[in-house]
């Protein structure tokens, strides 16, 4: 990468300035933000989620189409949000609703060297599915929380794409293949996508596990919240596995391997790791309908 593009004096805006700009214009679709906030409110019920979804008939139709897809293999068709929640549960329908609404952000693609929004979308959905699989197999409580955390873990990249677009495109275009994207972000912006995404997720009152995963999916050892750490570690492992299989946010950019301590904390042995590596392909094939929700 050219020295000029790594020069700190060329930094466009500070983290606080970018965060303030994003706070003025919400990037996350309003209905997705509302669904996340309803789900994060302990006082919310299935009826509250139902009301949010039914205010957006197009979103409701997309959720029900996915519920009735081969991915769930239900014995009969589901025709209402209430019925879907009763069958699959509050958290699964929440996750489908967020997946469907967030997908709209990726409809207009850009094709630059080593990055496309469609490939990022594929990465996010894949990490979500893999995070849920890992959390389930490791016996973590709330493995649907792992799905949501995985789906939104790289939200900071979309924020950079939208609010620092020219600088982001320049950074990706010049990124050497042996440099971690987060390190390049720090050099150019003074912060990385995990910091930016975490700052916005905190302002928008994301669920604690999702917030922690956004902040620490490259550095679970820095997460001090013991309650959320297992989900963060599951997302970190899922991110590494998917990236290693070529399903990456930034093509060919190296991603750090989870520490031995993180794997031991999850209870993942060497054999477990091998099985996860092999099984993730089938899991992602089964979940293909989520990519076109």
Complete DSSP assignment for 136-202? HHTT-S-HHHHHHHHHHTTHHHHHHHHHSHHHHHHHHHH--TTS-HHHHHHHHHSS-HHHHHHHHHH
Tell me the pLDDT tens digit for each residue of 59-114. Answer: 999 999 999 998 888 888 999 999 999 999 989 999 999 999 888 888 888 878 78
- Which is it for strands 111-112 and 115-116: parallel, antiparallel or unpaired? antiparallel
pTM: predicted TM-score of the whole model, two decimal places: 0.91
Please give the mean pLDDT across all residues of the chain.
90
CATH number for domain 14-292, candidates 3.40.50.1220, 3.30.110.40, 3.90.1300.10, 1.10.3210.10: 1.10.3210.10
d(CA 265, CA 259): 10
* 105, 26 Cβ separation under 8 angstroms: no
pLDDT at 10: 61
């Amino acid at each position: 990468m050219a020295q000029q593009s790594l020069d700190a004096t060329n930094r466009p805006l500070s983290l606080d300035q970018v965060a303030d700009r994003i706070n003025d214009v919400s990037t996350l679709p309003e209905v997705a933000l509302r669904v996340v906030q309803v789900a994060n409110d302990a006082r919310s019920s299935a009826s509250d989620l139902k009301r949010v979804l039914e205010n957006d008939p197009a979103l409701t139709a997309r959720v029900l189409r996915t519920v009735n897809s081969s991915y769930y293999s239900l014995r009969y068709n589901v025709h209402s949000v209430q019925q879907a929640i009763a069958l699959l549960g509050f958290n699964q329908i929440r996750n489908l609703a967020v997946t469907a609404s967030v997908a709209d952000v990726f409809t207009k693609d850009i094709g630059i060297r080593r990055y496309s929004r469609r490939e990022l979308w594929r990465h996010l959905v894949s990490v979500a599915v893999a995070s849920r699989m890992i959390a389930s197999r490791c016996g973590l409580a709330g493995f649907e929380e792992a799905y949501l955390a995985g789906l939104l873990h790289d939200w900071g990249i979309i924020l950079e794409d939208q609010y620092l677009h020219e600088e982001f495109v320049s950074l990706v275009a010049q990124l050497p293949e042996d440099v971690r994207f987060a390190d390049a972000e720090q050099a150019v912006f003074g912060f990385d996508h995990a910091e930016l995404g975490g700052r916005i997720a905190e302002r928008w009152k994301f669920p604690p596990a999702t917030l922690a995963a956004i902040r620490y999916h490259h550095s679970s050892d820095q997460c001090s919240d013991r309650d959320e750490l297992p989900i963060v570690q599951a997302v970190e492992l899922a991110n590494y596995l998917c990236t290693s299989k070529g399903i990456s946010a930034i093509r060919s950019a190296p991603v750090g391997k989870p520490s031995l301590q993180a794997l031991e904390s999850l209870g993942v042995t060497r054999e477990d790791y091998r099985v996860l590596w092999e099984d993730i392909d089938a899991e992602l094939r089964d979940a293909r309908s989520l990519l076109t929700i």
